[in-house]
Every structure is written in C-alpha cells, then in structure tokens.
C-alpha cells in the first residue's frame, strides 16, 4: 500500500514530470503546523463519535506533537512524491503509529483540509500584519509629534498649494493604515469560520460535532454551507486586496520620500544605513529602500490579479486550479510584511531639513488663498476674491515680489477694500491657526488628532495580546 | 469674468484640444444631483457662520432646486468648456442668482467636492446594488425550494464526485452573495463619512460646523483628516473590489449554466427569450446571456486594476490622475448591476431536466465514498477502505457494472467483511440522509439552511427601506 | 419575416432586458464602414461562383454605397433590436433592395464578419497611430535639436548622476517610440490576413475564391485555418499590448514633466494654455495635461488586462464572451491617440529654463565619476579609484566645497598621483566630450543620432502615404 | 577595502534588515554565467583600449572560466551581503586575481550589466522556449494525422454547430503557437542588441569598441541610445507578453481537455499517469494536469501585469524599482516552459473515443446549415433558407426525429422545392467534402495544412541548431 493514497483504481504509476509539475508541497509546507493542529482536532472529533478509541486518539496526538516538533526543529523532510502537505503529514503519521493513522482521514477530504489550514494560517498572518501595521502607525505618529513645529508646503498636482504642518501631512499615512486595520478586523470575521466537516463538498457522512471542531480550533463557528466552504476563495482575495491597499499607500509614501530626498527637493535626509551607492559613480547615495517598496507594490498587485483571474469561470466545487492561489498569497504576505517594516525603519530614520522647509515657505505664493479669504471677510464673493487674487499673484510674480512684499498701494490697485490688516493674513502661522477645524491643519487640531489615534492604537495593541 | 473660474493668473486661453482632453463633465455629470445636494448643505453651513445671509441662502436653495429639476427633466445642458460637474453647477447658479453664487465656494475646493459627491453617489449605488443582490439571492432560494427533490451529481475537477441536492449546489451562489452583502455593509461604514470641510486638503479656513454638514448629508460624521479626505480613493477601490467578487461568482455560475445547457450535459434548459440564434446555423440556440456575464467579469476586473494601478506611486495630496477613477467606477457599477439582473432572470427562467439527472445518478460511481464509509463502519481504517473501494470500482468498470450490480460474492473477493447490508449504502437517498450535518447536503439540513437565509434576507430587505 | 434573422427555430420573443444587455451595436457601429467594405467584397465573391447575378451584385453594390454615404453623413440610425452592426447593415440592405439582400449572407457567419471588420478597422487605426507616433518623435527630435547646447543633470534613482545633453535625455522617448513603431510593423503582418471565407469556423461550404477576397480587401492573403480565424483574438491583444507600451512611455515622460515643472525642480515651464488653475487657490498653475496622461496609462493597462483575462479558459471556437473585446479596444485606441497628441503638444510647448540647469550643474558632485576615471588613466584600478573618489566627495561635502574648489594639496591627501591636470577633468564639457561613443552623450554623437532617426522617420512617413 | 564596493562616501554600515530587503542575488544568481560571459567580453574591450594588459586580460579570463566552472558544478556560494550577481562575481574575481579584478569595472555600471545579462539570458530562454513550442506543435500535428478519420462536433457557444475533422479542430492550437513563434522571432531582433558600453546611462567615458563588444557577445549590434539602453524594459515586457499569449492558448486547450474528459462529454481519455485521484472518493480520476495549466495561465498574466504596472510613472533613467522585474520574469518563464511540456505530454497521451464521437454526430442538428445551403442551391435566398430550416429543425425536434429521418412529404410542408436529393446533403461526409476551401475542414485541405505546417516546423527546427 505504498505510493499514492488514492492509487486503488489506478493502473499506471504517476508520470515523474507530472509529479513535479503538480506537487504543491514545495510551497504549501508552510501550512504544516496548521495541518497538524487541524488533524488533532479532527481526531478528537472522530473519537467523540466512536471512530477512534481513547488510546488511538492518544497515540495520534502524541505522534502529531512529535511531527510538529520535528518540523519546528527543521528535522522533517517533505516529499514531492506525496504531493502536498496533507499527504506528507498523513504518511508521517503512518510511519509513527501504523494503521491507526489511516483512520484519521475518515470522511475527510483535502478540499476541506486546505481551506481549514489556510484560514488558520491567515489568522496568524493577520495578527503578524496587524502588529506591523501598528508599529508603522506609531512610527508615523512619533515622527509627527517630534516635528510638530515643522511647516510643510502642502502640494496638489506636485505644485505648492497651502502650508500645512508636516505632522498633518505625514499622518495621512497613519490614517490610511488605520482604515486598513479596520478592514482587517472585518475580514477576520469572515475568515474565522471553520470549513472542517464539509468533506469533499457534500458534508461529512459521519455525524461529526462541527461546533466542537470549530471551537477547538478557535474559530467563531462552522461554515454552514459545505459546497461554499471548499469552493470559495473570497477569504484569500479579500486578504490580498487589503495587502494591495497597504502596498499602494506605501508606494505613495515611498514616492514622496524619493522626491523629498532628491537634491531638488532636499526636504529630508535618510541615514546612510538605509541607502546604497553606485558601483560606478562615487558620489551617489540612493534611496533604494523606498524605490524597492514602490516597486514591490506592483508585485502585490500582480499577486491579487493572479488570484482574481484564477477564479474567473471556474465551475463548482473544487478544481485543481485553486492550488495556484497559494504561491501568490504567500509571496504577497512576505512582500507586504517586509515592506511595512522597511517603511517603518525609513520613517523612524528620516531627518527633516527644517531650515530648508522654512526657507521654501517664504517663496512661492502659498498664502494666496489667505488673501482671497481675507477679501471674503471684507464682503467680496469668493469667486471674485479668487479672481482678484489671481491678478495680484501674477502682478507680484512679474515684479519678482512675494505677496507680503507688495505695498498697500499696490494691493489697492486690485481692490480698494484691502487695508493694512491684510499683512496679518499673509503669515504662515495665521493660515495654520485659521484651520483649527476638525480634520484641519491647525496645530491644536493636529495634536488632538495624534492623541486620539494613539489611544486607538493602544486599544488595538491591547487586543492583539489577549487571544 | 467669463471663461474659467480660475483664470485670474493666466495669460492664455486654454487650448481647445487640451480642453477636450481634460474635461470630465462628459462622465462626471452623473454626480450632478449629489453636487447639488452637497452645495445646498454647504450653503447652509456658510449661513451658520455668517458668510451667507438668510435671504442669500434662500435664493441659493431655490436655484439649486431649480437646477436639480432641470437635470432630472433632461433640460440641463452641460458644457465641456466648464470642465466638470462642479463648475457647471456653479455657473448655472450664477446664471440664476448672480453674484451670490460666487459666495458658495468660499473656502471650498473641488478636491473635497468630488469625493463628497462620489461618496453620496456610491451610497445610493450601494443601495441599488444591495437590492439587486437580495433579488438574486431570493431567486436562487426560490429555485432551490422548488426543486428540493432534485438530486445532482456533485462535481469536483468537473468529474462526478458525490450526489448532492441541486438545492444545495445552487445555493452556493446565494451563500457567496450573502457574504458580499456583508462586505458591502462593512464598506458602508467607511464610505459614509464626510470629506466636506477639508477644503483643498488643509482644512477650511472658515470655522464651518463639520458635524452639522455631515449630519445634513446623512453621513455618520466628518472625516477627521483633511489630507486623507482628498487623497484617498480607498472607498472607491473597496467598492470596486466587492463588485469584482460579485462578478467572479456570477462568472462561475455562468460557466455552469453554459455547461449544463450544452448538449453533452443537458441538465437544464433556458427559455428562448434569453437565448439567441446563429445568423448562419439555423438549429442553434445559444446561451449568450450567460456567456456575456462571464465575459463582463473581465471588464470589472479590468476596471479594478485600472484604479489600483492609477493610485500607485501618486504623491499626496490631490493629483489630476485621480480624475481617471470615475470612468472605470461608473462602468463597473453598470456592468455589475445589469449582470446581476441578467443572472437573476436566468435563474428564475431555468428549467431543470430532472429525468436526465435521475438517469445520470445511476451511472458512474458516485457512491464509491459510501462504500468506503461502509467499510469504515465495519472497522476498516479509512485509507485501507478507500484502497479496497478503488479496486472494486476498477473491477466493476472492467465488468461494465455499476457498484450496486456487483454480487455479494464479487464484493467479498475484495473484502470478506462485506455483507448484504452493503446494498442499503449504495443508494443515493442513503448517501444524502447520512449528511444531515450542519452545512451538509442532508435534505432537512438544506431546508433549514434555506429558511435561515430567507429570514436573514427579510431582515436585510427591511433595513433597505428604513433610511 | 421581421424580428431576428435567426428567429426560425425560436418560439418566444427576445426578452427586452436581455436585448439591451446583449446588444453590441451601441459600440460596434464604429465598424460599419468596414462591414460594408467586406460585404461588397463578399458579394463580388458570391457573384464569381454564381450565387449572385451581375445585376444582383450591381444593385447590392449601389445599396452598400448608399448606406455608406448615409453613415458618413450621420443619417443612418442603428437599431439595438437588430443586435449588432452586421444585422443592422443586412437589414438596411433588405430595405433598399429587397430579397436579394438575403443572398449576401450565403455561407457567411457573423463569427468571421466581426474579425474581418476588426482587422480592417485596426489596419486603419494602426495607420492613424503611426502618424501620431511619428509626429511625437519629430516633436522630440525638434525640441532636442533646438536645445543642443543645454546640459542636463542626468538622474538615476532621482539623484544627480552624470551630466548629459538634454537632447540626449529627451530623445530616450523618441527611441522608445521608434521601437514601438517597429512592433506595429510586425503586428501589421499578422493583422493583415483575411478571415473571410472561414464561415462559422468550419470553412465556407461554397467554393469561394479566398485569394480574391483577401486581395480585394487589401489583405496580404487569407488566413489558412478557419477555426483559428474566428477563435483567436491575438491580433487584438498584440495591438493592445503595443498601445500599453506607448502609454507606459508617455507615463514616464509625463512623470518627468510634472517633476520638472514643480517649483523644486523648476527645469521647465509649460504654456498657460496647457495648464489649469485651482477653483480655490488663486496662485495655482497645474500640469494637468501631464497628470492625465499618466493616469490614462492605467486605463490602457486595464483595457489590456480585461481582454487577456477574457480569453483565459475559453473553449473553441466562437463564444459570445468575445464581444467584450471591443469596448476596451476602442477605448484604448482613443485614449492612446489623444494622449500621444497631448504629449506632442506638451513637448512642442515646453520651455527649458537653461540658466537654472546651468546653475544646477555646478552644484552636487556630478563629475565624481570623471575624477575616478582620471585616476584610472593614472593607473589606479577602477574600484580603488572609485573608493578614493568617494572619500574625496565626502571630504568636499564636509568642507562645503565643490570638487573643483578643492586644492591640489587637498586632493593629494587622498592620492598623491593627482596632479594639476585633474582640473581639466572637472569640467562638464570635458565629461561630455569623453562620451563620443556610439549611443553616448557626446555632442557629435547625439547630433548624429538625431539625424539618423530623422531620416528613418522620413522613410516611414513616405511609407505611410503610399498604400 | 572590504564591505560594499561603493562604500567610499558612506559613514554607516548597511542596516542588516535593509540588506536582506534589497538584495537580489537570491534570484538574479541565475544570470551568473551571462555576467561572466559579458565580463569576459568587457575585459577584452578594455584590453583593446589599453586599460588592461595582455597578461591582465589573460589572468582575468582564466579566473572567469574558473568561476564559471565552480558555478556550473554547484561549488560557488553567493553572498547576500554582496547584494547582487554583479558584485558577487566581482568579489570572486578579486579573490582569485587580486587588484586587477578592480580594473574590469572601469567605466562600467551595473545599470548596463543587468540589462546585458538579461538580454543574453532571454536569448537563451527564447531558444529553449522555441524548442518546446515546436515540440508542442509537432505533438498536435502528429495526433491530428493519426486521427484524420475522426469527425468532431464543432462547437460555438459550447453548442453543437457543424461537423469538422478532429484534426482541424485540434490544429487550431498549432496554428496559434505558430504565430507566437513568429512573435518570438520578431522579439529576438529587438532583444539581440547590446547595451554594454552605455555605462550608467551617459555612455562610457573610455573609447570602447562597442561594435566589437556586441559581436563578441553574439549580438546583432550595439544599442545606439545609452539612456534608453538602461531605462527600457520593453524587451522584458514583450517577452512576458508572448508568454502570456502562449499560456492563454494553453488555458483554452486545457479547458477543452477538461470538458472532453468529463463523463458528460466523454470524448477522450487521458492516461492514468497524468491524472490523480481523490484522497476521499475512491472512484475519482481527475485531469489535474489540465486544471493546473489553466490555473497557471493566471500566474503568467499576473507576472505580466506586475512588470507593466512597475514601469508606469518611472522617471528616467535607472531606478531600483526595476530590480523587481526579475522575479516575475523568471517565474513566468518557468511556468510557461513546464506548462508547454505538460500540455505536450497530454496531447501525446490523449486517446480519442471515436465511437462516442461518431454516435454524437448522429444526434442534434449539426447539418442544419447544410439543409439551408441546399435550399440556396435551389435558388432560395440564404436568409429565407435559414428561416425555413429553422422551422424544419423545430418541427423535427418536436417530432423527436433527426433531420434525415423526416420524410420528403414532411420536408415539402416547409418548402416544395425540396426533393429526394436533400438526403445526400444530410450526411456528415458531404458536409466535410463541401469545405475543401483554403482554411476549411475538407479532408484534403486539412491534410495539406498539416503538411505545410510540418515543413515550416522543419525549417524552424533546422534554424534552432545552427547558431
């Protein structure tokens, strides 16, 4: 009875090339500990309905523990001939306990095993991801708090628009990740349901206690549709989608870091330890870490697309195509986790060139909106105020002057309503203080925002430890 | 003061080709009523802080109502020269009320207007989608209930695997959509937050009551980070992702319908009114509706990837690239809504060829697992039972016999443990009854499942009407 | 005999919703003139084998010409009830010539019609595209020639790397497009083959002269596999892929333009006529045209992936899913053509801020590689020279000096081999002149490159006119 | 002088996490032999301009050969600390020959090295791919030739349409691959150009003989734009696109194989050695190989999308993002090569169930078009003939008769023009013989097609061996 577990009705040995082509154990081995965990629970469930005796269960549990230890200690060797992680573990059990190992698969199908393992695995990786996300958010908040006095030329269209606090600008990424964190919490509800007991797709023919199984594995409950349980990969694609959103945000941050460290911007510096040089040009110090994060976002998008296009047109229930969901999933998880940590290190390490920013704020016409708003307070409809200001800006530009360098007489050429108090409005601080509005860049508002997000983070961190 | 609203600092007319290249009103006009709704609220907020008088507000509200009526009645003409829906409405206001129209944009930016409009629009389209999803689920449940006596040769790998109730198989799609419905509910929490008051990105310079604004627009509250509010399109991509998941499920259903109506399967028929013929081959009756649904899934995947790749590498805050999020979004919504309705009609119309299915169940070896399970109940470890059964199947196949046609003597050649009671196990009904396990294909279980989902649907339907 | 052309075997009217869901004439109407062209040829072929008489052919040709005129003059009205462009033209023929119209479809299938029309359409759009590509390349070459004296701080990793001629840098985009032009030429060979005569997929049952048909339509010959002819969309995807490559190059150019016009870079200016302002911030002048080009690249990528994922898993031969290839194709063509023209206008309009660039070249350490190369000429192995230079750069940076401001003594601290002649090497002109190597940035080399590409362009332009 | 080659201007050690995050040698090591080949040529070029002496060159060549041997024999160990394959080889050279190793990088940049290596690598993989493609085409042609007498119910919309030769149907895949082969030939022209001498992007500062370099590496010539040479990845994306097209065709073939082996179709059988069983259901024999091919098509599409979205928005010239082009490229190559071989084995192994097909052809109304064509030959316009036939089909269906079972009287109810000779037309052989038209399914035509493609294949095979 060697060879494939399903060889009964077959008359030929499996082709060697096909064996290599179709095996999955070279990547699904990462599920091995979850396979063991699910097998242990399954054995317990079989014992409850009398398929296994007390002693049989006990010997199986011991063997499963042994195998788990071997795996953790790197002493377990997976065999491609045994196709996948499931058959590798079954065979290892057999080698340890003999015939009784063959009982553990009573009524059980690899179709349900793989989704059970994957859901357990993703639950764990979800936790890992959440930790990394919180660390990233904290790094942003800390950097923001340390630089509450830095004012930044806020951009739209990569043109100077209005002054904002650097702390306000950079916390955009914290805000983005915070919502992705909430997306993960929602996904967890859907992931944390137990397929085991669905068998191949029709439900198990033996009266397993599915509620027990779910609880024993820490799931919130059993999935209540067995065909759905083995056919759907929505718990995978939703996770991949959240990874994609995270990577897109990181790609935007990376783009900004690359801009900011360019000689033209020169807003920040990055520590040498996170940069590389050129093998040819001795003066180069390149922001490779940020470039790689940016590039790796494409990788995760590709992974998502791969799985989505995989599912298209597949009839129910299980098809072997579904095996191809794992390499992109595993790859995307690794990419996102390392990119998150790399981004965190960059945020922690970046040094703001405050003087350069201060200098910049004096140039350009960042306060033109203030001038228009000033006119509004004098009773001019905004659109008209905007138009008058546009003309003043052009005049100032032609004169090579900043707005605050224009004389009152010059201002009055455009609107007689302008008085001496206009100069108060043409100060960055004034502009910031006018924006103590929820969500705005007012210094007090930004401080409050940071405090509030910090306390949310604390709550989430506490939640991570408990289960 | 004609021409562009922002023309103050410009010295050249906009190039005509560029005007056409960059305008968005040819597609963002669908946001017009939401733009008006948001403008009404914004005017009220300006009145609360004294920028508008009671009378000014009143005349603006009247004008906005007029414009809304004109739009609904198809009497409003949008102009490309005015770029987008925002400037078109502003201009229309000016034409109706003069100068006061220019006050409504005090402190307001198109960057926040477009995301406010989009969130309102998506809230509405979310509701439309939910209605269509519930109708689809109901169609599935009804068809399932009407065919509770139909047994179906459940497939894995497009090979006959085990018998299931047709009602069980087809409700997989109801189950899938039900989870997408829950995804929509989660998305709604994130979508239903108000950007208005964020201005260009730094927050409004006038002390607007953002809580009032949010409430007046039916939002759960204001977004509390103004840079995030105008820069993020996660509320768009998450919606697109849910549309993609729906379309993937519909593509799988469509694939099955196409298979089932093929002459080889011949499991179902579809009404003539949903099929088309061939311009060449007179006998053809083609399942075009299902093929188109399948094809349109690719369209929505393309739309999702368009927007995801659009966001990659974009620095904060607003960039004009973001305008390109709308054509794919609008297209995906239309595609998904019509595909959902088409699929619903197909489900409602499909006729199951019960005799054909009954005939099929007698062929093949759908009950081989039952035989293995039978051996397990006699004490043989499952893997061994599986192997014995595999050999019996091959023997039967070689003999051109069905399993239940084998004699007891023949069975005993493979295992002496087999007795007369084996024949009880080799009946489809027995197999179904053994699967009265949560999620399984047992007739009572499937009935309960349907009832339970129906009552969930009722709750959701009630919820749709209330707000 | 009204209603659908294929209604013979049907007993129900087509459902109205399904009719709307499945019609394609709302987009495939753009193929109408090609449909007429192909119908004319087909009629001629039928006449050659006696299915049509001389007079019948003549009346059909007249009617086809009439319909073509009506379409061109906007007087033709397409009907959704007639499904697609093919049935619309057939019906219009019938209305003009009666029964004889029904002969033209002898042995002909829409499966072959649609690919014939599409190939004719793409041949034409390929020509349009080639014209726009050549115009773009010419704009680049002209701008390069006009600025042969401008030196540019070449970037890697968005860091200053080495000086290059601006003409060298910008012609990268001409070089890219030139290869895409060659890709189009290769594609044309594969596109310009005639499916007509393939019928539904099995080949026509009447002995049509396929060589005549191909020639009459300007094809290089008939496609010699009829199942392939109607099933494959490779001529569509290859075209879409080339469009994607063009858009990717334009997105890179657009990114550079956005960087260069940012206040931090300030390398170029763009004319007001190609920029827009802000509805809120009066000082803004935004490079929207470039941003939109960048964004539209995502649109074309989405279109490509839509069609690729559409084709996956489709069994032979024709399936209705294939109808969904046209909306993305038509959209991608329009996007690419308008983006190419927009980019051309931007290139033509951009103004280089030469002084700013000249100033920049004096800063940073763009000539560090020259110093290393100098050391190599003195016999130091390059890697060591690189290391020495790295140390010198850091020393200079710490001293706040440029390389050429270091004294010979200072240099000698790092390598005694350095002599007075080092200063010759620390001049931008020297660096450029050292690169008169094929492909390099030497002024003469760049001039030669431009001349050579120009003459290639002339050859291609001549080719466009001839057919 | 240990540590990074570029460490001169750096003051901190590279961060260990960043080192792991950014290294590429774990995947670009596959380029090692090409790196050596290119280094050898580069050394020769340096010798020609006097940077290296005869002896230095000789010692470098010897060392390079040694390293190549070590790599081939698995005795070379790559170090992540050295970042990439380039620095690993440089260091290995240094360890073997000391200081002279440092000369080989004179004027050379990794930016050009990586694209040179990649182009050499792809040239080789292109050859491997072509061999596999030809083998696949041959398998198809052989299977077609062996089954020239098998008639197949040609499908459109997965409905029976018209009879075709199986040999005609299956060679569609040969035809598809043949055009992809031509695409590869076109790609080769663009791939086989030499970047070496472009240096970082500005061209080498030493007067290398680029024509010699190109020739020595077997390239057709040097790339004549150095910025383009290091910035463009079009040679990668075009290759990936061709891989995608191949995989799409294989996915369509796989879908058909899965259908054909399903119990409902039962057109073919596949050898046990290429199928797998179920761990649960003893009777199962699953076409996993085909399912995996189908699934792997998504993988390659994902790889293509990854690289395309990677390139979007990247400014010139080299950015580190580009490193991320290699994992998807290498993965796609492996996937496509193994899938091609797997598909070839399936084609070679598949067994056609001829009786089943013969039986099928008698059912349904595959010859309805023949009947309509018959009417045409009697002078009835085709559209009318189509309509009459539609009605006859419906009548026959209602009577439970085949077309040829209708009596002449019954026929005459629909058209009095029908005579006894109609029965000749209602034979499959007649239908086939009527299609001896180029590209059609006539037996002689198909034979000719096969012969002609075979001789093309022979020519291509001969071409593979020569270089």
Is C8 an 8 Å CB contact of chain D?
Answer: yes
In this prediction, residues A56-72 reach a mean pLDDT of 97
Q: Which residue of A has its CA nearest to C369?
A: A281
Q: What is the pLDDT of residues C370-427, one digit of tens each?
A: 999 999 999 999 989 999 999 999 999 899 999 999 999 999 999 999 999 999 999 9
Distance CA D332, CA D63 (A): 33
Cβ contact, residue pair C252, D315, below 8 Å: yes
- Under 8 Å CB-to-CB from B178, ≥6 apart: which residues? B137, B453, B456
On the 0-12 / 13-18 / 19+ scale of CB atoms within 10 A, C26 is exposed
Q: Which residues pair with B163 in a beta bridge?
A: B153
Q: Active site residue: C7, C58, C79, C278, which one? A: C278
- Coil, strand or helix at C236: helix
pLDDT at D450: 98
Question: Which residue in A284, A309, A389 is closest to C309 by CB distance?
Answer: A309
- Which residues in chain D have Cβ-Cβ distances shorter than 8 Å to A275? 10
Greatest CA separation for chain D: 101
d(CA D112, CA D41): 14
Confidence of residue C278 (pLDDT cuts 50, 70, 90): confident
In chain B, what residues touch C291 (CB-CB under 8 Å)? 319-321
8 Å CB contact of A312 and B320: no
- Return the SS3 of A276: strand
Q: Is C154 helix (H, G, I), strand (E, B) or coil?
A: strand
In chain B, which among 194-253 make CB contacts under 8 A with chain C?
A: 199-200
Interface test mutation site (partner B, options D282, D295, D311, D389, max chain B beta carbons within 10 A): D282
pLDDT-derived band at C467, boundaries 50, 70, 90: low
Q: How confident is the model over D138-195, as pLDDT tens digits?
A: 999 999 999 999 999 999 999 999 999 999 999 999 999 999 999 999 999 999 999 9
Other beta carbons within 10 angstroms of residue A437's beta carbon come to 24
* Interface contact A163, partner C, CB < 8 A: no
How confident is the model over B96-113, as a mean pLDDT?
A: 93
Q: Is C271 on the interface with B (CB under 8 A)?
A: yes
Closest CA to B38 of B91, B115, B93, B107: B115
User: What does the pLDDT read at residue A364?
Assistant: 77
Q: What is the mean pLDDT of residues B213-234?
A: 98
Residue D405, exposed/middle/buried by CB under 10 A (0-12, 13-18, 19+)?
Answer: exposed
Map chain B to HEC letters. Answer: CCCCCCHHHCCCCCCHHHHHHHCCHHHHHHHHHHHHHHHHHHHHHHHHCCCCCHHHHHHHHHHHHHHHHHHHCCCCCCCHHHCCHHHHHHHHHHHHHHHHHHHCCCCCCHHHHHHHHHHHHHHHHHHHHHHHHHHHHHHHHHHHHHCCCCEEEEEECCEEEEEEEHHHHHHHHHHHHHHHHHHHHHHHHHHCCECCCCCCCCCCCCCCCHHHHHHHCCCCCECCCHHHHHHCCHHHHHHHHHHHHHHHHHHHHHHHHHHHHCCCCCCEECCHHHCECCCCCCCCCECHHHHHHHHHHHHHHHHHHHHHHHHCCCCCCCCHHHHHHHHHHHHHHHHHHHHHHHHHHHHHHCEECHHHHHHHHHCCCCCHHHHHHHHHHCCCCHHHHHHHHHHHHHHHHHHCCCHHHCCHHHHHHHCCCCCCCHHHHCCHHHHHHCCCCCCCCCHHHHHHHHHHHHHHHHHHHHHHHCC
pLDDT category of residue D1 using cuts at 50, 70 and 90: very low
Q: Which of A263, A366, A393 sits opposite C159 (nearest CB)?
A: A263
Note whether B288 contacts D364, CB cutoff 8 Å: no
Question: What pLDDT, on the 0 to 100 scale, is given for residue A284?
Answer: 86
**What are the backbone angles phi and psi of residue D361, rounded to the nearest 5°?**
-65, -20
Query: Choosing among D152, D155, D157, which should be mutated to test the B contact, i.e. which has the most B CBs within 10 A?
Result: D157
Binding-face residues of A in 284-313 toward D, CB within 8 A: 284-286, 288-289, 291-292, 294-296, 298-299, 301-303, 305-307, 309-310
Residue B362: both structure tokens together: 């007698």
| pLDDT given at position A86 | 95
Task: Evaluate whether B60 touches A381 at the Cβ level (below 8 Å).
Answer: no
Asked if C235 and C173 touch (Cβ cutoff 8 Å), the reply is no
Which residue of C lies nearest to D5 if distances are taken between CA atoms?
Answer: C383
Chain A residues with beta carbon closer than 8 angstroms to that of B200: 154, 156, 161-162, 369
Torsion of the alpha carbons at D180, D183, D189 and D191, rounded to the nearest 10: -70
* Closest Cβ opposite residue B157 in set D161, D264, D288: D288
Instruction: Inform me whether the C-beta atom of residue D14 falls under 8 Å from chain B C-beta atoms.
Output: no
Contact D316, D231 (CB under 8 A): yes
Which among C155, C317, C449 is the nearest to D154, CB-wise?
C317
Mutation for A interface: D250, D255, D304, D324, most A CBs within 10 A: D324
Which chains are adjacent to chain A, needing at least 3 Cβ pairs under 8 Å? B, C, D
pLDDT for the residue C406: 95
Identify whether the C-beta of residue A139 lies closer than 8 Å to the C-beta of residue A156. no
Between CA C93 and CA C105 the distance in angstroms is 11
Rounded to 10 deg, the angle between the A85-97 and A110-146 helix axes is 120
- Higher confidence at residue C281 or residue B419? B419
Three-class SS of residue A323?
helix
Given a cut of 60, whether residue A350 has pLDDT beyond it is yes
Q: From CA B212, how far away is CA B198, in angstroms rounded?
A: 14
Confidence of residue C2 (pLDDT cuts 50, 70, 90): low
Torsion, Cα of A84, A90, A92, A98 (10° steps): -160
Residue D416 sits at the chain A interface (C-beta within 8 Å): no
Share of chain D above pLDDT 70, in %: 99
Task: Using the predicted structure, report yes or no on whether residue C105 has a pLDDT greater than 60.
Answer: yes
Using CA coordinates, name the residue in chain B closest to C318: B291
Contact D160, D232 (CB under 8 A): no
What spatial distance separates the first Cα and last Cα of chain D, rounded to whole Å?
43
Beta carbons of D159 and B285 less than 8 Å apart: yes
- Taking CA atoms, what residue in A is nearest to C365? A283
What is the set of domains in chain B, with CATH numbers?
7-106 (1.10.275.10), 111-146+172-353 (1.20.200.10), 360-459 (1.10.40.30)
CB-CB contact of C202 with D438 (8 Å): no
Would the CB atoms of B277 and C9 count as touching at under 8 Å? yes
> Do the chains contact at C306 and B323, CB–CB below 8 Å?
no
Q: Is the pLDDT of residue C449 over 90?
A: yes
Query: Among all residues of chain D, which has the CA nearest to that of C317?
Result: D156
Global model pTM greater than 0.95: yes
- With CA atoms as reference, report the closest residue to A467 among A218, A239, A221: A218
Q: Are residues A283 and D9, on separate chains, in Cβ contact within 8 Å?
A: yes
Going by C-alpha positions, the residue among A95, A118, A107 that lies closest to residue A38 is A118
Q: How confident is the model at residue A362 (pLDDT cuts 50, 70, 90)?
A: confident
pLDDT for D3 equals: 67
Evaluate whether A446 touches A148 at the Cβ level (below 8 Å): yes
Q: CA nearest B295: which of C419, D368, C325? A: C325
The reply to whether B437 touches chain A by the CB within 8 Å rule is yes
| Closest chain C CA to residue A158 | C262
pLDDT tens for D82-97 read 999 999 999 999 999 9
User: Which segment of A364-368, B325-329, D115-119, D295-299 scores lowest on mean pLDDT?
Assistant: A364-368
Contact A280 C305 (CB under 8 A): no
Contact: C271, B306; criterion CB under 8 Å = no
Instruction: With CB atoms and an 8 Å threshold, state whether D383 touches C156.
Output: no
* Residue of A251, A264, A283, A381 to mutate, testing the C interface (most C Cβ within 10 Å of its Cβ): A283
CB contact (8 A) between residue B289 and residue C18: yes
**Structure confidence at residue B467 as a pLDDT band (50, 70, 90):** low
Candidates B157, B279, B309, B466; catalytic one: B157
Residue closest to C231 by CA, chosen among C200, C193, C208, C203: C200
Q: Measure CB to CB from residue B305 to each of D286, D305, D393 and give the nearest one.
A: D305
Q: Report whether D305 contacts A305 (CB < 8 A).
A: yes
- Length reported for chain D: 467
Name the β-bridge partners of A222.
A194
- ∠D288-D294-D297 over CA atoms, to 5°? 140
Chains meeting B at 3+ CB pairs closer than 8 A? A, C, D
């Amino acid at each position: 009875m060697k060879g494939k577990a399903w060889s009964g009705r077959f008359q030929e040995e499996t082709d060697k090339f096909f064996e290599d082509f179709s095996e999955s154990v070279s990547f699904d081995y990462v599920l091995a500990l979850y396979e063991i965990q699910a097998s242990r629970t399954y054995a317990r469930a079989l014992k409850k309905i009398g398929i296994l005796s007390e002693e049989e269960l006990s010997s199986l549990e011991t063997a499963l523990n042994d195998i788990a230890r071997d795996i953790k200690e790197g002493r377990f060797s997976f065999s491609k001939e045994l196709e996948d992680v499931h058959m590798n573990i079954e065979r290892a059990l057999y080698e340890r306990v003999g015939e009784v190992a063959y009982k553990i698969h009573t009524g059980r199908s690899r179709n349900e095993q793989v989704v059970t393992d994957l859901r357990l695995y993703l639950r764990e990786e979800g936790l890992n991801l959440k930790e990394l996300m919180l660390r990233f958010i904290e790094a942003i908040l800390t950097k923001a708090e340390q630089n509450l006095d830095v004012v930044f030329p806020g951009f739209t269209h990569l043109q100077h628009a209005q002054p904002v606090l650097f702390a306000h600008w950079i916390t955009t990424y914290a805000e983005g990740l915070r919502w992705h964190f909430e997306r993960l919490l929602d996904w967890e509800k859907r992931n944390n349901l137990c397929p085991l007991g669905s068998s191949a797709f029709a439900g198990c023919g033996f009266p397993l206690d599915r509620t027990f199984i779910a609880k024993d594995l820490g799931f919130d409950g059993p999935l209540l549709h067995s065909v759905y349980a083995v056919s759907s990969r929505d718990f995978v694609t939703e996770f991949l989608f959240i990874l994609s959103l995270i990577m897109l945000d990181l790609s935007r941050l990376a783009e900004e870091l690359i801009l900011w460290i360019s000689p033209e911007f020169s807003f920040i510096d990055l520590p040498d330890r996170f940069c590389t040089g050129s093998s040819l040009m001795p003066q180069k110090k390149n922001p490779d870490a940020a470039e790689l994060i940016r590039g790796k976002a494409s990788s995760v998008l590709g992974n998502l697309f791969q799985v989505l296009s995989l599912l298209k047109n597949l009839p129910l229930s299980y098809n072997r195509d579904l095996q191809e969901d794992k390499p992109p999933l595993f790859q995307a998880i690794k990419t996102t986790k390392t990119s998150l940590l790399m981004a965190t290190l960059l945020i922690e390490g970046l040094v703001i060139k405050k003087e350069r920013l201060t200098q910049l704020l004096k140039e350009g016409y960042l306060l033109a909106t203030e001038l228009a708003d000033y006119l509004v307070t004098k009773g001019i409809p905004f659109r008209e105020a905007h138009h008058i200001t546009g003309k003043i800006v052009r005049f100032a530009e032609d004169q090579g002057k900043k707005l605050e360098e224009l004389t009152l007489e010059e201002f009055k050429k455009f609107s007689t309503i302008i008085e001496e108090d206009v100069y108060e409005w043409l100060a960055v601080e004034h502009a910031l203080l006018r924006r103590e509005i929820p969500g705005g860049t007012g210094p007090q508002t930004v401080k409050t925002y940071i405090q509030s997000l910090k306390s949310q983070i604390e709550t989430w961190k506490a939640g991570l430890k408990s289960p």
